[in-house]
Amino acid sequence: MNERDGFQAVTTSNVYFGPSAQRKWLGRGARRDIDVVLVTHPRDRADIARMFPWTDALDGEALADLLYCLQPVYGEIIEARGINIGILFLPILAEDMIDPKSRAYSRRRLEKEGLAKVAAMGARHVCLGGLTGALTNYGRRIEAHSKDLGIELTTGHAVTSVSIVRQFEKALSESRMSGDDTVLAIVGVGSVGAGVTRLLAHSTRTTKPVELILVDTQQQQDRLHVIAREVAACSPIRVSVEVLPTRHALPADSRCYRDANVIVSAVSTPSILDIDLVRPGTILIDDSQPYCWDRDMAWSRVQARGDILPCDAGLVDVGEIAYRSFFPFDFADDHGQGSVISWSCLAEGLLRASLPWLASNVGEADVAQLLAYERAFDDMKFEIPALQCGKHLLDVEAFRRFSIGASRLRRAQGGRS
């Protein structure tokens, strides 16, 4: 989808997306500031082609040269009710933010070029999307410069954690499962994974699984045990840890494959989970950048067997504030008239701008912050949209029928799985 095609499908006049979004928005009259900016980046080459379709023809070296020359660009500017929102793309691929050789360069571009572009539009609130939170040590490394520019940072990880918990509850409810049926594995206990764990342990608003399995690498094993002890001390949830021998793949005998029937993943190493090894009847919720499991393989298994429910995480329905996005993010509700879905990291900035009493999140969100954003999420009537895998809506009813049939079969066999 290119900018011209998108505009032909749109019936409203105040739509600004594509490379010319900023110019068109400023050209409509008196100078107006943007209130909230999501600073993010293309995940891969396909994301670059959403903005510049002709880049599909470039080889790797030519594309790298182009990204080196490009400045950060607003992919979309959205006028919601009482709030103006910008989505600013850095010309940096996810793989370059992960690569130790290019991380410092990527961070400098974010701090010098990205924040300057934000400040020039008068924005006060900045949300760190994609891998920019991890790149900046959850905002700490760019906080001083942001303050000098009059910008308040927030990582987006509090609302991302809230949205994952709400999505977990939605998937359980629509599948007719309860917390008593649920063994939940959380793969990756960084800022988001720890936030999800702490919400499940501390919140009185959440459905709690009967057991939690916390999974991370050997380098994180001390942190794993600290968080496990915290859960055990304040909740009835059974909790255990699994320490991975390598960060590149879950071993075939992982409890994620053997015992879990819900797997939440929030990691930065691609494709560490093998869809073929996932136990039938499992719900998957992935907030990883890059993806923790292959979307095409997951969708193929859904079509062939219907025995898993593989969900994209980090999506929030913010239609309550008259938000509508036309950038081609492949949100499943966009049929040519835009989408009410926001990325969860941006939704945190929308809450910050709407409810000034909320604290911004630099560093990891603590329990008080997580609970405050959970309450704000509910009070603002933000919701989880229909479950999707890639651009495909999931047939939860078909998954529910499979799960019921499998449960009956296990009972008939005396509980053997």
- CATH code, domain with 408: 3.40.50.720
3-state secondary structure the chain: CCHHHHHHCCCCCCCEECCCHHHHHHCCCCCCCCCEEEEECCCCHHHHHHHCHHHHHCCHHHHHHHHHHCCCEEEEEEEECCEEEEEEECCCCHHHHHCCCCHHHHHHHHHHHHHHHHHHCCCCEEEECCCHHHHCCCCHHHHHHHHHCCCEEECCHHHHHHHHHHHHHHHHHHCCCCHHHCEEEEECCCHHHHHHHHHHHHCCCCCCCCEEEEEEEHHHHHHHHHHHHHHHHHCCCEEEEEEECCCCCCCCCCHHHHCCCEEEECCCCCCCCCHHHCCCCEEEEECCCCCCCCHHHHHHHHHHCCCEEEEECCEEECHHHCCCECCCCCCCCCCCCCECEEEHHHHHHHHHHHCCCCCCCCCCCCHHHHHHHHHHHHHCCCECCCCEECCEECCHHHHHHHHHHHHHHHHHCCCCC
Residue 338 in domain: yes
Inform me whether the pLDDT recorded for 184 exceeds 70. Answer: yes
Residue 8 CB partners (closer than 8 Å, separation 6+): none
Residues 169 and 133 in one domain: no
Flag whether 417 is in a domain.
Answer: no
Q: Are residues 251 and 399 in the same domain?
A: yes
Q: What is the pLDDT of residue 29?
A: 75
Residue 224: inside a domain: yes
Shared domain check, 225 and 170: yes
pLDDT digit string, tens, across residues 52-103: 999 999 999 999 999 999 999 999 999 999 999 999 999 999 999 999 999 9
Domain range for residue 208? 163-310+387-412
| Measured distance CA(253)–CA(259) in Å, rounded | 10
Residues 262 and 203 reside in one and the same domain: yes
> CA 401 → CA 77, 177, 306, 396, 397, distances in Å?
42, 12, 9, 9, 6
- Give a yes or no: residue 370 inside a domain: yes
Q: What are phi and psi of 40, to 5 degrees?
A: -140, -165
Specify whether 340 is located in the same domain as 391. no
Would you say residue 146 lies in a domain?
yes
Total domain count, the chain: 2
* Mean pLDDT of the region 303-319: 97
CA distance 241 to 186: 10
- Answer for the pair 158, 365: CB distance below 8 angstroms, yes or no: yes
Mean pLDDT of the 126-146 span: 96
> What is the tens place of the pLDDT at every residue in 12-35?
446 898 999 999 999 887 667 899
Look at residues 364, 378, 374, 354 and name the one whose alpha carbon lies nearest to residue 125. 354
**pLDDT tens digits for range 208-228:** 999 999 999 999 999 999 999
Is the backbone peptide bond immediately before 290 cis, with ω within 30 degrees of 0? yes
User: Within this chain, do residues 152 and 225 fall inside the same structural domain, yes or no?
Assistant: no
**Residue 411: which pLDDT band, with cuts at 50, 70 and 90?**
low
Same domain as 11, residue 88: yes
pLDDT value of residue 9: 41
Strands of the sheet containing 282-286, edge to edge, are: 238-244, 211-217, 183-187, 262-265, 282-286, 308-312
Does 408 share its domain with 368?
no
Question: What's the pLDDT at 166?
Answer: 99
Question: d(Cα 255, Cα 190) in Å, to the nearest integer?
Answer: 19
Which residues, 6 or more positions from 304, have their beta carbon under 8 angstroms from its beta carbon?
Answer: none
- Residue type for 111, please? E
Per the domain annotation, does 214 fall within a domain?
Answer: yes
pLDDT at 11: 38
CA 396 to chain centre: 21
The string of pLDDT tens digits covering residues 328-351 is 998 999 988 899 999 999 999 999
Average pLDDT, the chain: 92
Q: 306 and 322: one domain?
A: no
170's tokens: 């939605």
Q: Tell whether 326 is covered by a domain.
A: yes
Instruction: Let me know whether 89 and 14 are in one domain.
Output: yes
Is the pLDDT confidence value at 113 over 60? Answer: yes
70 Cβ partners below 8 Å, 6+ apart? 91
pLDDT for position 30: 62
**Which tens digit of pLDDT belongs to each residue from 368-404?**
999 999 999 999 999 999 999 999 999 999 999 998 7
On whether both 111 and 147 belong to a single domain, the answer is: yes
Paired tokens of 162: 């809230």
Q: What is the pLDDT of residue 3?
A: 40
In a domain, 11, yes or no: yes
- Average confidence (pLDDT) over 239-243: 98
* 54's tokens: 């002709």
Handedness of CA 316, 322, 327, 331 (dihedral sign): positive
Nearest alpha-carbon partner for 88 in 66, 105, 113: 113
Both 173 and 296 in one domain: the answer is: yes
